[in-house]
Amino acid sequence: MKRSFISKSLALIIGVICISIAYNHNKNVIYETNGSIYGTYWKLISTDYISDNLRKDIKEELLRIDNIASNYNNFSELSLINNAQIHKRLKISKELYEILLFAEQLNKISMGYYDVTVGLTVSKNGFGPPIDLNQTFIHKSIDRFKLLDGYYLIKYDNFLFDLSSIAKGYAVDKIHDLLITKGIKNFLFDIGGELIINGSKHKQNWKIGIQNPLKNINSPIIEIETKNYLSVATSGEYRNYKINSDGKIVTHTVNPIINEHINNDVLSVSVTSYSSNMKADAWATALNALGPELGLSIANEHEISVIYIIKLKDEIIFKKSNWWIF
């Protein structure tokens, strides 16, 4: 009887210990899932459990946005608009309307250095889809386009929209909203370097590294530690470039003022935002095209948190706006 009691007591103690170990393990576990989209990767890291259904929902949402804003998808809403007649009143989705509305606002703020109508130049430089040679497109819109109440658009000349500088950020925002509605509160979501964090990593700060542009491996040159909400977007030429037939480097970011790829000493531009990854994404491209002198002036005026990483000879220097706090 006594031996039976001792055996049962030991079993109970061992059971409690096992439960305690399992509990402490679950308190520190990190879940991760990933995939590919928009010619790059996506990744979700969370302290909350990621179900197969959630992964499916993420993939479906990313594809839904691709069907709105991709110019590689011939059947997307954007591609249909690119091939539509000018001076025609076109009904567009609320989401595309919101993207174009901010893009046009930033076009004015940046004095034309941010422009989503330079699709022809982007494609001719080798960073966009093949061009239909049977159509005559212009390098950028001169007469622009108009957004009308009720989600309508009128194009006033035959240009090509390119939303690669804003659509990824918009998708990051939408996945953030999806995760919150699904009860996921603590996570980092990333599409090709445009990312959002929310909540904490087991009550600790998330660590975000901004890539060292001079190294091929993932080696951060700047680390950001924070929790709660933060968006980070980076525009850089250090990986996305081509060598033309003359042996010269052609970067993917366009200077819309001269309709040429940018050519300066800026390696990357990173923008942080407490409100929107879409806005951070677009601002990073705009400030990259503007260059550090003019870009920082406009960033300070509009309270934009930005850091430029610049190579001068063999030295890397940093230039920050007054609103950069990290």
Whether the Cβ atoms of residue 113 and residue 286 lie closer than 8 Å to each other = yes
Q: Report the pLDDT value the prediction gives residue 270, as an integer from 0 to 100.
A: 96
Distance CA(197)–CA(208), nearest Å, equals 9
Whether the Cβ atoms of residue 311 and residue 267 lie closer than 8 Å to each other = yes
pLDDT above 60: residue 23? no
Confidence of residue 123 (pLDDT cuts 50, 70, 90): confident
Which position has the higher pLDDT, 319 or 128?
319
Give the residue numbers spanning the domain of 131: 31-326
CA distances to 235, 267, 309 from 217, in Å: 18, 16, 17
Q: Report the pLDDT value the prediction gives residue 220, as an integer from 0 to 100.
A: 84
CATH number at residue 219: 3.10.520.10
Both tokens of 43, joined, read: 């990744």
CB-based contacts of 304: which residues, under 8 Å, 6+ apart? 271, 283, 287, 298, 321, 323
The per-residue pLDDT for range 154-183, each reduced to its tens digit, is 999 999 999 999 999 999 999 999 999 999
What long-range pairs does 144-150 form, CB within 8 A, spacing at least 24? 144/104, 144/117, 145/100, 145/104, 145/117, 147/97, 147/100, 147/101, 147/104, 148/89, 150/91
Q: Report the pLDDT value the prediction gives residue 27, as an integer from 0 to 100.
A: 65
Rounded to a whole number of angstroms, the CA Rg of the chain reads 24
Judge whether 93 lies within some domain.
yes
Judge whether 25 lies within some domain.
no
Judge whether 23 lies within some domain.
no
Judge whether 19 lies within some domain.
no
255 burial level (CB within 10 Å; 0-12, 13-18, 19+): buried
Confidence of residue 287 (pLDDT cuts 50, 70, 90): very high
The per-residue pLDDT for range 293-310, each reduced to its tens digit, is 999 999 999 999 999 999
Whether the Cβ atoms of residue 268 and residue 222 lie closer than 8 Å to each other = no
Judge whether 22 lies within some domain.
no
Count structural domains, the chain: 1
Look at 3-7, 243-247, 251-255 and tell me which has the smallest mean pLDDT. 3-7
Nearest CA among 157, 212, 15, 174 for reference residue 93: 174
Q: Report the pLDDT value the prediction gives residue 13, as an integer from 0 to 100.
A: 44
Q: Report the pLDDT value the prediction gives residue 212, as an integer from 0 to 100.
A: 83
Judge whether 114 lies within some domain.
yes
Judge whether 168 lies within some domain.
yes
- The residue-averaged pLDDT of 187-208 equals 96
> What one-letter code names the amino acid at 229?
Y
Q: Enumerate the β-bridge partners of residue 268.
A: 236, 309
Whether the Cβ atoms of residue 62 and residue 34 lie closer than 8 Å to each other = no
| Angle at the Cα of 81 from the Cα atoms of 78 and 84, rounded to 5 degrees | 155
Judge whether 172 lies within some domain.
yes
Give the count of beta carbons closer than 10 Å to the beta carbon of residue 2: 6
Nearest CA among 313, 290, 316, 306 for reference residue 107: 290
Confidence of residue 50 (pLDDT cuts 50, 70, 90): very high
Distance CA(298)–CA(290), nearest Å, equals 9
CB-based contacts of 35: which residues, under 8 Å, 6+ apart? 41, 42, 55, 58, 59, 62
> What one-letter code names the amino acid at 159?
F
3-state secondary structure 11-51: HHHHHHHHHHHHHHHHHHCCEEEEEEECCEEEEEEECCCCC
